[in-house]
Structure 1
Amino acid sequence: MNHNMSLNMLLSMVISALVIFSGRPVTGGRILLAGLQIPSHLLELQEIGQALARLGHSVYLSIDNNFPEREKLLKPGIRALTFYGMDTTFPQFWSKEASHALMDFILGKVRRNLKVTLRFATQDCTNMMLDEEFMSKVRALKFDLILYDGFSLCPCNAILPYHLSVPGVTVTTTLMGWDARVPVNPAMTPTMLLRHSDRMTFSQRLINTAVYLIASVYRISDYNTSLLQRFAPEVNSWTELQQHTSVLYIVLHDHLLEWPEPQMPNVIRTPGITTRPVGELPRQLRDLMEAATDGVIILSFGSVTGQLPAEIVNKFLDAFSQVTQTVIFKFGGGPTKPPSSVPRNVHLLPWLPQNDLLGHPNTVLFITHCGNNGQYESLYHGVPMIGFPLFGDQHHNAFRMVQHGYGVDMNILTFTVDELVNNIHKVFDEKSFKIAIQKASNIVKSRPMTAQDTAAYWVEHVLKHGGEHLRTGAMDMPLYQFLMLDILLFVLLLSFLSGYILKTILAVVCRKCLKRQTKQKQQ
């Protein structure tokens, strides 16, 4: 009996495996990840890349030879394709010079020229495309698909799949729906450039609509078109290039942190791409977390933390000295020297396994700069937040966090020690924060597939079936047709003409009536 059951189970497993893998090609595809050379952006791509590698695909990551600690950044199962800096006019985005300039901008010490900033941000794309040895290797590998960073400030990585005539998949947190020809309604979907929710007043809806129109006509990225002119001179803008190149848009947020919006078949949402169940912590951290009977506060501002001025760091330390919780403070990697005096409950560490720390049951609060990945990791593990947005979309991210009831936001330049202490107690004392984010956490964890597996599924879908069936005719429409401006103009002209004709007819009829009445009176 047991023998028969074992045979039946084995037969069932074999049949299941055949069903699962029957549609998959015998040999995997060859996929290149091309992203902005910033750790958080490269990690997003690699999370999808690892899921694809587990499915048997060969995955490569384009990475600058001088990228700091590149061995630590590179995920298992992903091979590096190195390019070398060919143009040193501007420093790379991850360089110390760029970090200093960014912090000066955050602190209000400089007001950087927009064109300089954009040239600054696209330096790594320039280096990649101008490295002939790198491009020769890419051509020789004959990639089936390129997963590229669609960051709105510099979507220059789209030039690579276009130049190689390879299908491209955009990975982005900053999708402006109209660019992907998604019929977003500005009356209910706020742009990420504003601090608006989906319940706007008349003036907010008016401003939101105006921003949508202006941002769609005057694209920020189109100020920097040198690569476009060199490698795709027949294309007019970066937005047009992406519409030609991208067969799929993978968007790394959804309504649990943003607000509901319509979706087309070629737009796939995979929020929380860096989230995962808790892994085992290093022994030192594990012992520290388990000993924290009053709870643990995690503070991390990503790679910017080491750039914070000493006076701001000291304000954080003064506030933490007034709470009973253990504080793990990511600190290092910048010019700011470690403070001479650190409270006993505070531990300064140069690197944190952020997702695993947030998932520990003793973690009670996350103090963050409101990066998209960190916010979703906090949401996934049900940890309330205090946000200190620094630049870019982080101000919008802080606003959405507050609106959804997941935490409070503060100003990094003006906050006081007392304000921070009060807000820490507020998040602990008001249970609504924990209840709201725990509910969102339960919703995320109830989904049938992880964000990584969802993204990998749809990339495989495109590899096997192509992406033409996902495209809509709107992708080939100019903006004025997509927004029906020509139809609205036609209706307005028709209404004006009809009104004019009606007015003319009435005037003629009235004149005739008056003439008849006058004639009758004269008789």
Structure 2
Amino acid sequence: MGLLPGFSCVVLPMALALLSAASVQGGKVLVFPVDGSHWINMNLLIEGLHGRGHEVTVVRTSTSWYIKEQSPHYTSITISLSEAMNLENQDFFVEFLSKMLALQKEGASVLAFVSFYSQMLTTLSGIHHQACQVAVKMFEDKALMQSLRDAQYDVVLMDPGLPIGVLLAHELKLPTVFNVRWITSGEGHFVVAPSPVSYVPTSGCAVTDKMTFPERVKNMFHFMLNIVIDKMVVSPHYNRLAEKYLEPGTNFYQLLQGAHIWLMRVDFVFEFPRPTMPNIIYVGGFQCKPSKPLPADLEDFVQSSGEHGVIVMSLGSLVKGLPVEITNQIATAFAQLPQKVIWRLPGEPPSTLGNNTMLVKWLPQNDLLGHPKVKAFVAHGGTNGIYEAIYHKVPIVGIPLLFDQFENILRLEVRGAAKGVDVTKLTSQNFVETLQEVLHDPSYRDSMKRLSDLHRDKPMHPLDTALFWVEFVMRNKGAAHLRTESYKLPWYSYHSLDVMCLLVAVLSLLVAVIVLSIYYICSKLCRRKQKLE
């Protein structure tokens, strides 16, 4: 009998957990993804939800690059667009990268950089305008909107990089879950959590959390710039949609901040520590998994490397290739090494390619990184590749090209697990020296091993954590108890400016009363003294 209380403490919670899990079997999830590398993460969540018995519907465009109309894991709603969005067009990123590298290499004037970034902001505005056209087509299609209401979805899962799903979820009165790292104004934390720029690096600013005074000035500049871009370039598109299709007074930014759960693709073994909130759930590296056996041709090539091992190189899914002069320098450097190299290069083969290098159009990146013969990973610094390298303990040689990649490589450099190369100054000589340093200095592999051990030391795999919280929102019709209501406050109330003004006014009045009282007393004393004289 003495065992029963302890037994019940164990069994009852387990039973309740099983009952709660069963209560969301057969739930309905509406998904608004973003194409490209973002889709890789979202598709994993979709497969997980489907595997747990949920019905998943994905909203995609007719020009989608990765998001297919037919899938065993979801049904799709396809919105027709007359032309592909720039985010769904690989040529856009190739052209963008080529222009940026040319400007940096030539040491262009300030005016040339201003002109380039002005064009970039125009393009950014165009991307969000195109995204809004998807929402317009959905709002204007009364039959579609009615079918969405009739479907009685339990939750909307979305990537807020293109946040049209925020508006649709509000119209459908459904709780929202974000699969997020980036939002319209940069890194997601800056919208939902306190973000002191004195030690929290701002999106676009490659600094650490230990900043010098000039770095803090630079960080503040980027912070203000991001706010201006969001308020002037991005948000107006969505506010116009809210004014037209939602109830009066609806503010897009408040809808964005009002998400129930933020599944943040972040792990603090990689990110710098910063303030957070109860409804932010950290699932960084949820795409990571044990490696599978390689295809026969790759396995034979890897085994042929002998004791020297293999280097893997991939620059992600958005960039077809670097300019020819850079790929030739890289190929020349690889040819000088005893290691074998597997290089994902969709573009033209370099003229200086060595016999030790295999070019492939696609490679099983996770499976290769998990192979014991892989000694280093040459990467652009995308978060998917970085987390896979951390998971499999492979040090990185970074060639950051775009967006957050510079910040990502810096974070690994600070932790001693990577070394970056400036692509505009890359030569075969400095590249081979960097490769040899990472290959032969054991500190890089030791640092990555420590990061990997910390990353894996969790009670649940990050993917299971993400799926749990999606189902939590479905079971409980939201998670409002975890969400602060501070986003509904006016900016002056949020920063307590009204309170400070009141305190200053009271203090000023008190000082004035004291000064006047002293003046009055002194005057009385002076007059009395004059009478006595």
- Please tell me whether residue 171 in structure 1 is matched to residue 179 in structure 2: yes
List aligned pairs for 1:331-370, cutoff 5 A.
331-332=345-346, 336-370=347-381
TM-score normalized by the length of structure 1: 0.85
Q: Which amino acid aligns with 2:405?
A: Q
Aligned match of 1:119 in 119, 126, 141? 126
Give the match's secondary structure for 1:179: helix
8 Å CA contact 2:87–2:127 kept in 1: the answer is yes
Unaligned runs of 5+ in 1: 1-13
TM-score normalized by the length of structure 2: 0.84
Q: Deviations over 1:446-470 (max 9, x none)?
A: 2111111111011111111121221
- Rate the CA distance shift 1:211–1:279 in 2: closer, same or farther, 3 A: same
- Please tell me whether residue 272 in structure 1 is matched to residue 285 in structure 2: yes
Give the match's secondary structure for 1:224: helix
List aligned pairs for 1:80-99, cutoff 5 A.
80-88=75-83, 91-99=85-93
- 1:405 deviation in Å? 1.9
- Please tell me whether residue 426 in structure 1 is matched to residue 423 in structure 2: no
List aligned pairs for 1:200-219, cutoff 5 A.
200-205=211-216, 207-209=218-220, 211-212=222-223, 215-216=226-227, 219=230
Give the match's secondary structure for 1:66: coil
Q: How many Å separate the matches in 2 of 1:292 and 1:348? A: 15
Partner residue, 2:496? 484
Q: How many Å separate the matches in 1 of 2:40 and 2:433? A: 34
Partner residue, 2:109? none
* CA root-mean-square deviation: 3.0
Q: How many Å separate the matches in 1 of 2:223 and 2:352? A: 49
- Rate the CA distance shift 1:207–1:491 in 2: closer, same or farther, 3 A: farther
Unaligned runs of 5+ in 2: 1-10, 104-115
8 Å CA contact 1:29–1:144 kept in 2: the answer is yes
Q: Which amino acid aligns with 2:261?
A: L
- Rate the CA distance shift 1:507–1:62 in 2: closer, same or farther, 3 A: same
Partner residue, 2:480? 468
Partner residue, 2:235? 222
Aligned match of 1:144 in 154, 160, 180? 154
- Rate the CA distance shift 1:20–1:107 in 2: closer, same or farther, 3 A: same
- Rate the CA distance shift 1:504–1:391 in 2: closer, same or farther, 3 A: farther
List aligned pairs for 1:284-433, cutoff 5 A.
284-293=297-306, 294-332=308-346, 336-433=347-444
Partner residue, 1:252? 265
Q: How many Å separate the matches in 2 of 1:473 and 1:157? A: 21
Q: Deviations over 1:274-333 (max 9, x none)?
A: 21111232222222223322121111111244242211211110111111111111111x
Partner residue, 2:8? none
Aligned match of 2:50 in 47, 50, 53? 53
8 Å CA contact 2:132–2:237 kept in 1: the answer is no
8 Å CA contact 1:176–1:191 kept in 2: the answer is no
- 1:510 deviation in Å? 4.9
- Rate the CA distance shift 1:493–1:288 in 2: closer, same or farther, 3 A: farther
- Rate the CA distance shift 1:125–1:394 in 2: closer, same or farther, 3 A: farther
Partner residue, 1:4? none
8 Å CA contact 2:203–2:223 kept in 1: the answer is no
Number of residue pairs aligned between Structure 1 and Structure 2? 497
Q: How many Å separate the matches in 2 of 1:48 and 1:250? A: 11
Partner residue, 2:28? 30
- Rate the CA distance shift 1:479–1:284 in 2: closer, same or farther, 3 A: farther
8 Å CA contact 2:254–2:488 kept in 1: the answer is no
Q: How many Å separate the matches in 2 of 1:108 and 1:67? A: 29
8 Å CA contact 2:321–2:345 kept in 1: the answer is no
Q: How many Å separate the matches in 2 of 1:339 and 1:203? A: 41
List aligned pairs for 1:150-165, cutoff 5 A.
150-151=160-161, 154-165=162-173
Q: How many Å separate the matches in 2 of 1:396 and 1:169? A: 26
Q: Percent identity?
A: 27
Q: Deviations over 1:119-155 (max 9, x none)?
A: 225525523651547656644533211111122xx43
Give the match's secondary structure for 1:337: coil
- Rate the CA distance shift 1:215–1:464 in 2: closer, same or farther, 3 A: same
Partner residue, 1:9? none
- 1:357 deviation in Å? 1.2
Q: How many Å separate the matches in 1 of 2:224 and 2:522? A: 45
Partner residue, 1:103? 97
- 1:202 deviation in Å? 4.0
Q: How many Å separate the matches in 1 of 2:416 and 2:518? A: 60
Give the match's secondary structure for 1:486: helix
Q: Which amino acid aligns with 1:118?
A: S
Q: Deviations over 1:221-244 (max 9, x none)?
A: 214335444433635653222124
Give the match's secondary structure for 1:303: coil
Give the match's secondary structure for 2:87: coil
Q: How many Å separate the matches in 1 of 2:198 and 2:29? A: 39
Q: How many Å separate the matches in 2 of 1:514 and 1:433? A: 81
Q: How many Å separate the matches in 2 of 1:23 and 1:162? A: 26
Q: How many Å separate the matches in 2 of 1:341 and 1:204? A: 40
- 1:352 deviation in Å? 1.4
Q: Which amino acid aligns with 1:242?
A: L
Q: Which amino acid aligns with 2:499?
A: I
Q: How many Å separate the matches in 2 of 1:349 and 1:475? A: 48
- Rate the CA distance shift 1:322–1:213 in 2: closer, same or farther, 3 A: same
- Rate the CA distance shift 1:503–1:208 in 2: closer, same or farther, 3 A: farther
Bigger shift: 425-434 or 485-494? 485-494
Q: Which amino acid aligns with 2:492?
A: Y
Q: Which amino acid aligns with 1:22?
A: L
Q: How many Å separate the matches in 2 of 1:101 and 1:223? A: 27
Q: How many Å separate the matches in 2 of 1:513 and 1:211? A: 60
- 1:414 deviation in Å? 2.2
